[in-house]
Amino acid sequence: MALKRLDSIRPVRWDDGALVMVDQRLLPRQYHEHSYRDAGAVAQAITDMVVRGAPAIGIAAAFGVVLAARARYQQVGTGWRAAIEQDLTTLAASRPTAVNLFWALARMRRAVELITAGDPYPPLLAEAQRIHDEDIAANYTMGELGAALIDSPCAVMTHCNAGALATGGYGTALGVIRSGFQAGRIRQVYADETRPWLQGARLTAWELHRDGIPVALVCEGAGAHLMKQGDVKWLIVGSDRIAANGDVANKIGTYHAAIAARHHGVKVMVVAPTSTIDMTVAHGDAIPIERRGEDEVLSLAGQRVAADGVGAWNPVFDVTPAALVDAIVTEKGVVLRPDAGKMASLMGGR
Ligand code: MRU
């Protein structure tokens, strides 16, 4: 009998005319949802990381466009199309690195262009819901494809949270881990804490523990020492943007972990839907890297830990060169040892 998929978390959902999002800043201590009926508030929630993770940001922004169109249609009638331009600009400015945000906005813009007359709310809501559903379906496919690359029961390591919380549901890297665990190919997960925002400690460990998947939290600095023990066979991560040559932008610390992985013969798997691939960016150095406030580094749980007067440098993503990546797993297929040619064939010359 087929096992029931470990899929019970939805960070973003549409309910009763509103976008409902789990406040990821409060997890795991509090599971609290907020309702949004205003596109500007959705953009602010993305900036403030109520919702985070590349695909989840894109889905939230798509629903943000629905809210914008509904409000503008009520305010100005047929002038709604021009009026939502400022909402699209606000949503696009919410975070810079995850290309899924811009991909989702472009797709919603195409849906806007197809509307010839009448209330834009029903067709735009249908498109946002399609984006959400397709993301979950892509995660199921990637879960199977990624798990199939793991050939003997082993331990794996992951970084940040590329789980259900970071996507429409199920997760990218954690989708592979969920599928791999259920297939008996993964017996232990090491989640690194992921300073400074602690996505690993707060979100990944919560998700896996909730699903009964053995997870041990490790400090970031313990990664190389852990890999040296020999039990970990794969480092499995998500991505915020993959360049046309296969370079991978992901949470700060991924590059560091990938270097340690190569040194210790641990393979690196990047799991991301094709909405994360940006064929307009030739290589990783051209990917915009978000810098966030110094406080995220200088404080812990709202409590300052560094001496007064000390500053911090806080880039929140880094780029792992394609040469350090063994496999990119997408819903369209797996690219082994990625390069520009293989990425172009995956994307069909896009
Ligand atoms: O700053 P965040 O928490 O939005 O960063 C998230 C990540 O880096 C994830 O690994 C990435 O978005 C992939 S999520 C499926």
Task: Give 251 Cα–ligand 1 centroid separation in angstroms.
Answer: 6
The CATH number of whichever domain residue 110 belongs to comes to 1.20.120.420
Residue whose C-alpha is closest to residue 217's, from 227, 204, 229: 204
Same domain, 127 and 168: no
Same domain, 177 and 100: no
Task: Give 233 Cα–ligand 1 centroid separation in angstroms.
Answer: 22
Is the sign of the CA dihedral 258, 231, 164, 178 positive or negative? positive
User: To test the ligand 1 pocket, which listed residue (52, 101, 271, 278) has its Cβ within 8 A of the most ligand atoms?
Assistant: 52
Q: Which two tokens stand for residue 219?
A: 């400090």
Task: Give 55 Cα–ligand 1 centroid separation in angstroms.
Answer: 8
Same domain, 129 and 151: no
Q: What is the pLDDT of residues 139-180, one digit of tens each?
A: 999 999 999 999 989 999 999 999 999 999 999 999 999 999
- Would you say residue 44 lies in a domain? yes
- The answer, as to whether pTM is greater than 0.85, is yes
Which one from 240, 247, 318, 326 is the annotated catalytic residue? 240
Cα–Cα distances (Å) from 323 to 37, 85, 259, in that order, read: 44, 40, 10
Same domain, 113 and 222: no
Task: Give 46 Cα–ligand 1 centroid separation in angstroms.
Answer: 12
Report the C-alpha gap between 250 and 346 in whole angstroms: 20
The pLDDT tens digits along the chain (350 residues) read 678 999 999 999 999 999 999 999 999 999 999 999 999 999 999 999 999 999 999 999 999 999 999 999 999 999 999 999 999 999 999 999 999 999 999 999 999 999 999 999 999 999 999 999 999 999 999 999 999 999 989 999 999 999 999 999 999 999 999 999 999 999 999 999 999 999 999 999 999 999 999 999 999 999 999 999 999 999 999 999 999 999 999 999 999 999 999 999 999 999 999 999 999 999 999 999 999 999 999 999 889 999 999 999 999 999 999 999 999 999 999 999 999 999 999 999 54
Same domain, 247 and 150: yes
| Shortest-distance Cα residue to atom 8 of ligand 1 | 251
- Enclosing domain of residue 189: 142-346
Same domain, 206 and 126: no
What domain count does the chain have? 2
- Would you say residue 60 lies in a domain? yes
Same domain, 199 and 328: yes
Same domain, 131 and 179: no
- Would you say residue 6 lies in a domain? no
Same domain, 165 and 38: no
In the residue annotation, 240 being an active-site residue is answered as yes
Residue at which a domain ends, from 92, 113, 137: 137
Which residues have C-beta atoms less than 6 Å from ligand 1?
Answer: 52-55, 98, 160, 162, 166-167, 172, 199, 238-240, 250-251, 316
Residue at which a domain ends, from 119, 137, 155: 137
- Would you say residue 2 lies in a domain? no
First to last CA, the chain: 40
Same domain, 124 and 191: no
Q: What is the pLDDT of residues 301-344, one digit of tens each?
A: 889 999 999 999 999 999 999 999 999 999 999 999 999 999 99
Q: Which residues contact 301 (CB under 8 A, 6 or more apart)?
A: none
